[in-house]
Amino acid sequence: MTRQERVRRTIRFEDPDRTPVWFFNRDHHHGDIMLYAYGLNREDGRTGEWGFSWRNLGDGTMGQPEEPVLPSWEDLASYPFPTKRTQERLAHLPQFLESSVGYYRLGCTGITGFNNYTFLRGFENAMVDFLAEPERAFALFDRIVDFEGEMIDVAAEAGLDGFHFSDDWGGQQGLLLDPALWREHFKPRYARLVERAHQQDLAVWFHSCGDISAIIGDFHEIGIDVINISQPNVVDLEEVAAAYGGKQCFMIPISYQTVSISGTPEDIYQEANRLRRLFETPRGGFIGYIEEYGCMGMSEANYQACVDALTRPAPSEFGI
């Protein structure tokens, strides 16, 4: 079974031969998934195509945007929106295809959707916009959605297997917006993007940090193929598994806020066992996620324990 087939079977609950794993920022070829990132920069080389630049915090993290691009609505009149630019985006595709033979190939453009909106307007402005000026706010958000639809088309043109959204909707204690507001305005827009991807035989992967318990059912309902619960320590996983285990494919790491940072290797093995017992079935439904987080205090021993724990045989064979 190729890595590509293993991942596809896991997502579709079609009996993979083992648990697939995504090695995100290290040891990529040890996993089953390879990422083709085709976001572009502006002419200055350091500013992303949405116009915000990142400030390096010097702590090994990804940093944060320096300033909002559209702090005033007046700035929108002269704002240059990103365009499709397919040829530029696929300039490195031949090399990627050559280096990823047999792997599941996932496309992304980096930060997406709601996060892009907050970076354009600034977080506080964004939170006010959706309540105080919804018509103007969702007109801008629709421009982001339209662009992401085009990026889905680029993934299809490239012959990739799926498209990856990176859109953080959760805080430590729940959704950042009222779930009712999310369902009214954001859910139908994401549903259209999912449908557009599926029409072109692309799977949809959705990453979100924080507690997104309130909308996991909505993600499932609109057909998102892989839900990445990025902070499992703030989500009631038992409740999620009871509702959606065996019906929805999840990708979940050993928590890099708690267990994989401050736990022992034995703690990591126990947590991997728990995740897989909750979400993995003989037919599929679970993808392991491994990210090296030395910047957060993860030791090399704990990184290797995460690798070992998520690439072991099925939980019934753990012997823990």
Residue 27's domain comprises 3-317
197-224 per-position pLDDT tens digit? 999 999 999 999 999 999 999 999 999 9
Looking at the chain, the whole-number percentage of residues with pLDDT higher than 70 is: 97
User: Alpha-carbon distance 32 to 108, whole Å?
Assistant: 16
Query: Which of the residue ranges 228-237, 293-302, 305-314 would you say has the lowest mean pLDDT?
Result: 305-314
Mean pLDDT of 182-206: 98
Mean pLDDT of 171-197: 96
Q: C-alpha distances in angstroms, 4 versus 32, 51, 106, 174, 243?
A: 7, 35, 10, 34, 28
Burial degree of 306 (CB within 10 A; 0-12, 13-18, 19+)? buried
DSSP state of 48: B
At 54, which helix (H) or strand (E)? strand 54-55
259-297 per-position pLDDT tens digit? 999 999 999 999 999 999 999 999 999 999 999 999 889
- Domain count of the fold of the chain: 1
59-109 per-position pLDDT tens digit? 777 778 888 999 999 999 999 999 999 999 999 999 999 999 999 999 999
Phi, psi angle pair for 119, to nearest 5°: -75, -35
CATH number at residue 255: 3.20.20.210
Q: Is the pTM of this model over 0.85?
A: yes
